Amino acid sequence: MFSMQKTGKGTPAAASRKIHSIGGVMRGREIRGTFEADGQKYQFSYAPTSSAVANRRLELTGTFSISPARGRARPPRTGVRATLSSTQGGLGNPPSVRPELLGLTGQTSDAEAADQKDATPGEAKAPAAEAAPATTAGLPVTEATGPTGFVGVLYLRLSPLDGRALGVPLDLSSVQLNARLAPTSDLERDLQWLLSGTVAAVYGERPDERAASGYLGEINRRLKG
């Protein structure tokens, strides 16, 4: 029916086993998801145990495991680094913030309350988020921007993985993990709020090492349980 030519770039089998990018959702302290390759469905999880900033990049370290959807769980790989390449801004319900975390923004509760006067109930200002673009007072604002912005997806580059060691016939040498933050628990909400703050403090227009350090401390406390 079609007339086109297959290219000689790699064998079809190799091409179908090369994993470029996989998507999951943060649940608890883990990012869990599934993907398909070579006609098989696989489940994976990445459980970060610590976070740090290295070379002006957020870096998580944790355990990665993978298994065929209907297969036995294989031994996980520990010490897997996940370096944050980029992010996607969140929309919809922003993460709520616990009062005890407000101190991390370096603002008093009163100042925070004043800054948030334009936010709708339940819409917390993200910590150290980018300042809103210059506006004339009293004008409507755009949803989830500036002080009410937050991170929806983290795009993490995993350190090279050996598929065979993980028990799967896949090329995992350069995997990008797309971690959607869609919190359903207090822990997940805290992590989204803290990660949003970290991203703004490290990747934003006005980097703030002190703030980043505060957020990382809180993230690490939660990752350790």
**Which one of the spans 40-48, 71-79, 172-180, 210-218 is the region binding another protein (CB under 8 A)?**
172-180
Residue 15, interface with another protein (CB under 8 A)? yes
Helix (H) or strand (E) holding 109: helix 109-115
Is 33 a binding residue for another protein by CB under 8 A? The answer is yes
CB of 68 to another protein, least distance (A): 17
Out of 92, 99, 121, 122, the residue judged to bind another protein by CB under 8 A: 92
CB of 166 to another protein, least distance (A): 19
Decide: is 25 part of the binding site for another protein (CB under 8 A): yes
From first CA to last CA, the distance across the chain in angstroms is 57
Closest by CA position to 27, among listed 46, 51, 10, 40: 46
Q: Is 185 in the site for another protein (CB under 8 A)?
A: no
| CA-only gyration radius of the chain, Å | 20
* Rounded-to-integer distance, Cα 128 and Cα 102, Å: 11
CA 78 – CA 40 distance, rounded (Å):
24
Asked whether position 213 contacts another protein by CB under 8 A, the answer is no
Cβ-contact 182, 77 below 8 angstroms: no
Q: Which of 50, 78, 89, 114 binds another protein (CB under 8 A)?
A: 89
Q: CB of 144 within 8 A of CB of 89?
A: yes
Q: Which residues bind another protein (CB under 8 A)?
A: 1-10, 12, 15-16, 18, 20-25, 33, 35, 37, 85-93, 120, 126, 129-130, 132-136, 138-147, 149, 151-153, 155, 157, 176, 178, 180, 182, 184, 196, 199-200, 203-204
